[in-house]
A and B are shown apart, each in its own frame.
Chain A
Amino acid sequence: MKRISLVLLAACVVIGAFSGCGQKAEPVEFDLAALSSQLMESGAFSDFLSPVSKEIAASFYGFEDADVTDCSVLCSTGATTEEIGLIKSASEEAAAKILANAKARVETQRSIYESYAPLEMPKLDNAIVTQNGLYVFYIVSADYTKAQAVLDTQNK
């Protein structure tokens, strides 16, 4: 009886240990509108940032309408390179394409502003351009540490 109990206990332990293996990790979801508001309120930006349409966002990040299921893109007055681009892609493939275009945008902005407003270069040097699953984030700010702090709270 004692042996049977030990065998049953061991079986329960083994079954419990492997019970989680069959479950897939839930994909990360972001409320892009709320996230952009948090970024705006973080003190990371020195310029006015205002929302632009998905069509205009598409011209910035090189995507087709079907590539993106949600986005929150805010641009500066033009006096600075500051910008918030939060994009949820329709697929991993689209996300990879948008990420590449976002990195290219940093360099495009650099070529435009290096003579027009040279003081903007450090902002571009510290641009946050990342991919998290289907999400691509493009953030150019006056204080990237504050912007990054907001993003870090999203992962907890």
Chain B
Amino acid sequence: MTLFNIKNKGIKAAFVILVIALVFLLVYYGRMPNDSDLPAASQSEQPSATDLQESPAPPSVAEEPGTVVETASPSPSVEGVAAPDLAEREPVDDEFFSDAAFMGNSLMDGFRLFSGLTTCDYYAATSMTVVGATTKVCTTLDNGAQGTLVDGLIQKPYGKIYILLGINEIGFEVQTFIDYYSAMLDTIIAAQPDCDIYIMGITPVSAAKSSSGEVFNMTRITEYNTALRQLAADKGCYYMDLVAALAGPDGYLPANETTDGVHLSVNMYQKWLNYVRTHYA
């Protein structure tokens, strides 16, 4: 039977619908990314982000073989606080952070050194990335063993987890970064189902840094942060806008608060802490 021989209108309509459905399915599955389709890492400006060139490694979580990590249902939002955005509230004291963990890269390590907040746990390292967070053994766990930063986050219950990653990966495809971040979040959420997770957006860079190249600029940072905010919404996490917290009126990191356009002075860490104290679920 050929199309030209079809005279019944009902059969013709059903055939057209079937063809459309087949085309849709072909397009949809044809666009699904393959695990081997990792783009070749492009050279980024200093600091070099080489971690995403590594082969994708599974999260270093001691799981039973065959365990399926399910995406946790979104955390219930406190009345008046609709994830992912956070409104400014009355500041909390250090005790609020006694069940908190802060994880991230050199900027988060700077927060550890200079913010003055000591009531929480820190898991931070220079050059850390979303890949390294689950693969680089660089911290000592409570049991004395060496582990990754994510191992640290899931070794005991936390009430709040704050995550800052992204500046070291900013030379790469946004979606690749988000895919890795999402997988890392799934691991954390599965292990910490009752925890409020705060995704911190990438911090601003100075105007000079932003204009110095095509990588470390506010356009890229905005693109990444938009994606991070959406990821927070998708995962039921909260999003912290550190550009709003730290940038000057011109939208850049003030030049006198940085020596390389990226890393922060002590004054900026104080502003950052004040933001964290006043933005919570």
Q: Mark A54-98, 1 if CB is under 8 A from B, else 0.
A: 011000000000000000000101111000000000000000000
Known interface pairs A56-B113, A116-B47. Does A47 touch B126 (Cβ–Cβ under 8 Å)? no
Residue B200 interfacial (CB < 8 Å) = no
Contact of A77 among B47, B48, B125, B263 (CB under 8 A): B263
Q: Is the beta-carbon distance between B266 and A50 smaller than 8 angstroms?
A: yes
Among A46, A47, A79: residue with most chain B CB under 10 A: A79
A9→B110 CA distance, assembly (Å): 70
Chain B, residue nearest A46 (CB):
B259
Residue B230 interfacial (CB < 8 Å) = no
B126 surroundings in chain A (CB, below 8 A):
78, 112-113, 116
A77→B257 CA distance, assembly (Å): 10
Q: Is the beta-carbon distance between B127 and A78 smaller than 8 angstroms?
A: no
Residue A115 interfacial (CB < 8 Å) = yes
Residue A11 interfacial (CB < 8 Å) = no
Residue B265 interfacial (CB < 8 Å) = yes
Q: Is the beta-carbon distance between B262 and A79 smaller than 8 angstroms?
A: yes
Chain A, residue nearest B259 (CB):
A47
Q: Is the beta-carbon distance between A115 and B50 smaller than 8 angstroms?
A: yes
Q: Mark A16-28, 1 if CB is under 8 A from B, else 0.
A: 0000000000000
Chain B, residue nearest A75 (CB):
B113
Q: Is the beta-carbon distance between A116 and B266 smaller than 8 angstroms?
A: no
A75 surroundings in chain B (CB, below 8 A):
113
Q: Is the beta-carbon distance between B110 and A112 smaller than 8 angstroms?
A: no
Q: Mark B226-258, 1 if CB is under 8 A from A, else 0.
A: 000000000000000000000000000000001
How distant is A76 from chain B, measured CB to nearest CB, in Å? 8
A115→B266 CA distance, assembly (Å): 25
Residue A48 interfacial (CB < 8 Å) = yes
Among B46, B109, B113, B125: residue with most chain A CB under 10 A: B113
A48 surroundings in chain B (CB, below 8 A):
259, 265-266
Q: How many residues of B contact A (CB 8 A)?
A: 23
Majority secondary structure, B binding face: loop
How distant is B87 from chain A, measured CB to nearest CB, in Å? 30
Q: Is the beta-carbon distance between A78 and B263 smaller than 8 angstroms?
A: yes
Contact of A79 among B50, B113, B118, B259 (CB under 8 A): B259
How distant is B256 from chain A, measured CB to nearest CB, in Å? 10
Known interface pairs A48-B266, A52-B114. Does A115 touch B259 (Cβ–Cβ under 8 Å)? no
Residue A33 interfacial (CB < 8 Å) = no
How distant is A39 from chain B, measured CB to nearest CB, in Å? 17
A56 surroundings in chain B (CB, below 8 A):
112-113
Residue A117 interfacial (CB < 8 Å) = yes
Could you tell me which residues of chain A, from 95 to 118, have a CB within 8 Å of some CB in chain B? 112-113, 115-117
How distant is B148 from chain A, measured CB to nearest CB, in Å? 16
A117 surroundings in chain B (CB, below 8 A):
46-47
Q: Is the beta-carbon distance between B48 and A116 smaller than 8 angstroms?
A: yes
A53 surroundings in chain B (CB, below 8 A):
118
- What are 23 pairs between A and B in contact, CB < 8 Å? A46-B259, A48-B259, A48-B265, A52-B114, A53-B118, A55-B118, A56-B112, A56-B113, A77-B110, A77-B258, A77-B259, A77-B260, A78-B107, A78-B110, A78-B126, A79-B263, A80-B259, A112-B127, A115-B48, A116-B47, A116-B48, A116-B126, A119-B46
**Top 4 A-B pairs, shortest CB-CB distance:** A77-B263, A79-B263, A79-B260, A78-B106
Residues of B within 8 A of A (CB): 46-48, 50, 106-107, 109-110, 112-114, 118, 125-127, 258-260, 262-266
